[in-house]
A and B are shown apart, each in its own frame.
Chain A
Amino acid sequence: MFELDVRSRKPIYEQLVERLKELIITEVLTADEQLPSVRTLAHQLTINPNTIQKAYRELESQGYIYSIKGKGSFVSPATPNLNREKIEKVKSELSKLLSEAIYLGITKDELFNMIQELEAAIGGGIEDDQNP
């Protein structure tokens, strides 16, 4: 389903949580879809089943998934804070890139033009995003 970077400094459990969140946010995993069992995932990724268990518990406490005893874990249909979390992440990445851009001498107007061009290309509207 996905690969983890065992060379990364990030704890595997955190990587797992992030990856699964990503899959849920991007709706690769849809509402009420069953997640692979701990055993299957442990086998596929060759990582400790306890780590996977822990990641699932974390996702459950954050409301991304729910579990049914004896059946397994499933994607929650309602995940209200999905967007907010993603927006926070994008904002922090943007501010890093923007400060680099400013440092390199890109002007405010140039940046603004870029934004306008991108907006035109994607064609998204604010209202649409808020009422999907």
Chain B
Amino acid sequence: MIKIRNVRKSFEEMEAVENVSIEVNNGSIYGLLGSNGAGKTTLLKLLAGIYVEDEGYVAIDGQPVFENPVIKERIFFIQDHPYFLPQYTVKQMAQFYQNIYSRWDDGRFEELAAIFEMDIHKKIHRFSKGIQRQAAFILALSARPEVLILDEPMDGLDPVMRKKVKSLLIDEVAEREMTILISSHNLREVEDLCDFIGIMHKGRMILEKDLDDLKTDTHKIQVAFKVSVPAIFDPLKILHKEKRGSIMICIVKGDAKEISSYVEQFKPVIFDMLPLTLEEIFIYEMGDIGYAVQNILG
């Protein structure tokens, strides 16, 4: 269980993370989303024990992470630019990690190298970006971590590799309850992987929720009426409303059945109700706090 409580971290004048608290259960896949510069990477680095928090605490199973080798041995962090020791081959990196991670599994390493068709005797820095990322995954999964922290993990991977990596991650979660924290801008990607998401903006956590709950209680509705639109929307909890010709498009919060039975009593000519995609949720939630997508044509 990961617990981050009231954590604050600033760099000189800049406050990168302000008063953030999150909890992640074992075996969960947590998606950390946010605008650029929201503090996602800082938060991940705090969790990985790379940074020390200014205030609050970061703990895994009740123990602080920073400079705690016992806990850190159970974590693996793949940064947005994976780091390898200069001039090392994949095999040499594996030997390096073997000395650090007591649960390192050599059999698993061989197996993963075969799955990815990786030449483990080649120097990593000569690989392309995508292959380097694959090497990082092979090393990470061979270390058998309990917590895997991924910063923009799919960057540079082709669709086939993405699928392969995803299914490997899911297997680890299903088989031994590995916990994953994943930060990404690619919302489509996290949408089918994560069960819980947190959205950050300017160092703060603005929304944290079970993904399915989030999707089942926010809806996009399109309605049109024969006569002019009655003022029926007042009792509904509307996040966003726009008019395109005679069709109204609204983002509404609440129970799907209640909303549709409410709207239908006004006999709309067109009435469609769609669940939101994660991308839409992200955009509307961000718009709500003033981080709107500016209309360029305005």
Contact = CB atoms under 8 A, between A and B. Distances in A.
A107 interface: no
Given A46-B163, A48-B195, A49-B170, A9 B277 contact: yes
Given A48-B193, A50-B28, A51-B195, A14 B174 contact: no
A9 B274 contact: yes
A49 B194 CA distance: 10
A117 B64 CA distance: 74
Given A9-B277, A11-B215, A13-B212, A50 B27 contact: yes
A38 interface: yes
Contacts of A89: none
A43 interface: yes
Interface in A38-78: 38-39, 42-43, 46-51, 54
A39 B29 contact: no
A48 B170 contact: yes
Contacts of A47: 170, 192-193
Contact of B167 (A6, A9, A43): A43
A10 interface: yes
Given A9-B277, A14-B216, A39-B174, A46 B167 contact: yes
A54 to B, nearest CB: 7
B192 A14 contact: no
B167 to A, nearest CB: 5
A48 B276 contact: no
B118 interface: no
Contacts of B276: 9
Nearest to B25: A50
A35 interface: no
Contacts of A29: none
Nearest to B166: A46
Contact of A43 (B174, B191, B193, B275): B174
Interface string A1-41: 00000100111111000000000000000000000001100
B174 A38 contact: yes
Interface residues of B, number: 24
A48 B194 contact: yes
B195 A11 contact: no
A51 B213 CA distance: 11
A48 B30 CA distance: 11
A54 B28 CA distance: 12
Interface centre among B166, B212, B215, B274 (most CB of A within 10 A): B212
A43 B170 contact: yes
A11 B275 CA distance: 8
Contacts of B173: 42, 48-50
B192 to A, nearest CB: 5
Nearest to A46: B167
Interface in A82-99: none
Nearest to B195: A50
Contacts of B216: 11, 14
Interface centre among B170, B171, B191, B211 (most CB of A within 10 A): B170
Contacts of B13: none
B175 interface: yes
A17 B173 CA distance: 21
Contacts of A9: 274-277
A48 B212 CA distance: 12
Contact of A39 (B175, B215, B275, B277): B175
Contacts of B277: 9
A14 B213 CA distance: 11
Interface of B: 27-29, 163, 166-167, 170-171, 173-175, 191-195, 211-212, 215-216, 274-277
Given A12-B192, A48-B29, 14 more contacts: A6-B192, A11-B211, A11-B212, A11-B215, A13-B212, A39-B174, A42-B171, A42-B174, A43-B167, A43-B174, A48-B170, A48-B192, A50-B28, A51-B212
Interface of A: 6, 9-14, 38-39, 42-43, 46-51, 54
